[in-house]
């Protein structure tokens, strides 16, 4: 192919090449034997003998130097290539069309599109370009998204801290059309507002959709949603529970939750601004008990060194929530800390159950929904764990 002649090329060590063979798309700086003589963008990758291994995104400033795009080194990465890849990712989510109007169309490495996130909120798209290499492909990606989805607007939430490691500015920029401050989402018939410009992640926690539906269907009696944010679990609980307390440390988050409850004509939700640790401790002492509890805290373990402290935090809230359950009560508990692996999450729950004095049944163990695919060979694509527990006594 003539195109390969003009492409800048990188040579990588045998260890770098082995990473691709094992199904992981990243090659680190220490395995780049000869870096490409070019700015961030698409480069050809070769082994030390010059054999072409594929095409990658090149990030000159990052520890993650090369991210695999295509094992075919003669491929042309243009608008139509992006279209084909993004369409394939979207096809994997076809089933979601009957459940919601908001889902993750592209989950980065999990969809073979490293460092790219594309979330769809109704007619609008919110994207995250988190490497220098992918940023260099922005125009083609935007063109592909317009061809595929004809969206009313595309917003880039490029404000994550990880962009700094790539030498990129942190910014929120409109790339196409218009994107409003609020977009109404329909999730299994529950309506809530996403906040694409200012909300967490790209405007909502899409990754908990199926878990909200799961516990929402089983909810009953008096329910408690700790770490409620915009109330999305609380709204699902309120459809079947008698009363729901939505708790969060953030008053503005709960104002939005209250607005969401009104949007669904739900009048059985009350909102409590409080620290969840203190609230759970106080209820344990005053004897309040619940039929249904949800714990969906932020990531307590932001990095490996913080893991032991994080595990103590998770255990504390889970142990107290278990004690607050009426006999037969249900607890849905989650962790989105990447560093708290599935085995560690279960170990933490076992330790909490042992100390709680309750006999807890593990009814379901959940992970990520279909729109956040976890690739077994790329551990970084998996982070969300959930458990549905029932108090036996
Ligand atoms: N369950 C939500 C997402 C929760 S995000 C959903 O499905 O959409 C985590 C939330 O925890 C944030 O809103 C944050 O304000 C809140 N939070 C963080 N620390 C807290 C604490 N100690 N007590 C109560 N809320 C806390």
Give the count of beta carbons closer than 10 Å to the beta carbon of residue 81: 18
Burial 39-49 (b: 16+ CB within 10 A, else e): ebbbbbbbeee
Dihedral sign, CA of 231, 237, 240, 243?
negative
Give domain limits for the chain: 6-70, 79-183, 207-391
Mutate which of 209, 211, 229, 278 for ligand 1? The one with the most ligand atoms within 8 Å of its CB, which is 229
CATH of domain 207-391: 3.40.50.150
Per-residue pLDDT of the chain (393 residues; tens, 9 = 90+): 444 457 899 999 999 999 999 999 999 999 999 999 999 999 999 999 999 999 999 999 999 999 999 999 999 999 999 999 999 999 999 999 999 999 999 999 999 999 999 999 999 999 999 999 999 999 999 999 999 999 999 999 999 999 999 999 999 999 999 999 999 999 999 999 999 999 999 999 999 999 999 999 999 999 999 999 999 999 999 999 999 999 999 999 999 999 999 999 999 999 999 999 999 999 999 999 999 999 999 999 999 999 999 999 999 999 999 999 999 999 999 999 999 999 999 999 999 999 999 999 999 999 999 999 999 999 999 999 999 999 998
Q: What is the DSSP letter of 176?
A: E
Ligand 1 atom showing the smallest separation from residue 294 Cα: 1
Give the count of beta carbons closer than 10 Å to the beta carbon of residue 264: 17
pLDDT for position 2: 44
CA distance linking residue 46 with residue 32, whole number of Å: 10
The SS3 of residue 202 is coil
Phi, psi of 222 (to 5 degrees): -95, 130
Q: Which residue minimizes the CA distance to atom 9 of ligand 1?
A: 298
HEC profile of 236-265: HHHCCCCEEEEEECCHHHHHHHHHHHHHCC
Q: Which residue minimizes the CA distance to atom 12 of ligand 1?
A: 229
For tokens 């529970």, the residue is 241
Ligand 1 atom showing the smallest separation from residue 230 Cα: 8
pLDDT for position 393: 80
Q: Does the beta carbon of 205 sit less than 6 angstroms from any atom of ligand 1?
A: yes
Give the count of beta carbons closer than 10 Å to the beta carbon of residue 139: 10
Instruction: Give the angle 281-247-305 at the CA atoms, nearest 5°.
Output: 70
pLDDT for position 170: 97
Q: Which residue minimizes the CA distance to atom 13 of ligand 1?
A: 229
Q: Does the beta carbon of 58 sit less than 6 angstroms from any atom of ligand 1?
A: no
Instruction: Residue 135: name the closest of 111, 110, 90, 165 by CA.
Output: 165
Give the count of beta carbons closer than 10 Å to the beta carbon of residue 116: 29
79-183 homologous superfamily: RNA methyltransferase domain (HRMD) like (3.30.750.80)
User: What's the gap in Å between 98 CA and the centre of ligand 1?
Assistant: 28
Q: Does the beta carbon of 275 sit less than 6 angstroms from any atom of ligand 1?
A: yes
Give the 3-state secondary structure percentages of the chain, helix then strand then coil, rounded to 5.
Answer: 35, 30, 35
User: What's the gap in Å between 313 CA and the centre of ligand 1?
Assistant: 14
Specify the CATH architecture of the domain 6-70: Roll (2.30)
Q: Does the beta carbon of 298 sit less than 6 angstroms from any atom of ligand 1?
A: yes
Q: Does the beta carbon of 211 sit less than 6 angstroms from any atom of ligand 1?
A: no
Largest CA distance in the chain: 76
Give the count of beta carbons closer than 10 Å to the beta carbon of residue 301: 21
Give the count of beta carbons closer than 10 Å to the beta carbon of residue 21: 9
From 294, 336, 344, 384, active-site residue: 336
Q: Does the beta carbon of 273 sit less than 6 angstroms from any atom of ligand 1?
A: no
User: What's the gap in Å between 148 CA and the centre of ligand 1?
Assistant: 35
Please say if 226 is a catalytic residue. Answer: no
CA distance linking residue 293 with residue 274, whole number of Å: 16
């Amino acid at each position: 192919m003539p195109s390969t002649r003009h492409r800048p090329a990188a040579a990588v060590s045998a260890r770098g090449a082995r990473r691709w063979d094992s199904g992981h798309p990243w090659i680190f700086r220490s395995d780049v034997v000869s870096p490409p003589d070019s700015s961030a963008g698409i480069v050809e990758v070769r082994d030390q003998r010059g054999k072409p291994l594929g095409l990658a995104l090149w990030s000159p400033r990052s520890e993650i130097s090369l991210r695999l795009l295509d094992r075919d080194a003669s491929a042309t990465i243009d608008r139509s290539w992006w279209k084909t890849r993004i369409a394939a990712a979207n096809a994997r989510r076809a089933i979601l069309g009957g459940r919601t109007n908001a889902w993750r169309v592209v989950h980065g490495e999990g969809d073979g599109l490293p460092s790219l996130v594309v979330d769809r909120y109704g007619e609008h798209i919110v994207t995250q370009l988190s490497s220098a290499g992918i940023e260099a492909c922005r125009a083609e990606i935007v063109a592909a998204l317009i061809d595929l989805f004809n969206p009313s607007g595309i917003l880039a939430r490029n404000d994550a801290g990880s962009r700094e490691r790539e030498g990129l500015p942190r910014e929120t920029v409109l790339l196409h059309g218009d994107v409003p401050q609020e977009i109404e989402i329909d999730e299994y018939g529950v309506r809530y507002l996403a906040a694409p410009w200012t909300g967490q992640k790209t405007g909502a926690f899409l990754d908990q959709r199926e878990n909200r539906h799961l516990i929402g269907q089983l909810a009953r009696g008096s329910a408690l949603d700790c770490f409620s944010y915009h109330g999305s679990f609380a709204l699902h609980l309120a459809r079947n529970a008698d009363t729901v307390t939505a708790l969060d440390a953030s008053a503005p988050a709960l104002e939005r939750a209250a607005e969401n409850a009104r949007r669904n004509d739900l009048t059985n939700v009350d909102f409590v601004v409080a620290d969840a640790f203190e609230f759970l401790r106080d209820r344990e002492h005053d004897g309040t008990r619940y039929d249904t509890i949800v714990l969906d805290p932020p990531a307590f373990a932001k990095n490996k060194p913080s893991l032991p402290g994080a595990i103590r935090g998770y255990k504390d809230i889970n142990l107290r929530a278990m004690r607050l359950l009426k006999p037969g009560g249900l607890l849905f508990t989650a962790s989105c800390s990447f560093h708290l692996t599935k085995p560690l999450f279960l170990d933490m729950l076992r330790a909490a159950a042992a100390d709680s004095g309750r006999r807890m049944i593990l009814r379901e163990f959940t992970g990520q929904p279909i729109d956040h695919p976890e690739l077994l060979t790329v551990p970084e694509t998996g982070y969300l764990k959930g458990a549905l527990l029932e108090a036996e006594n």
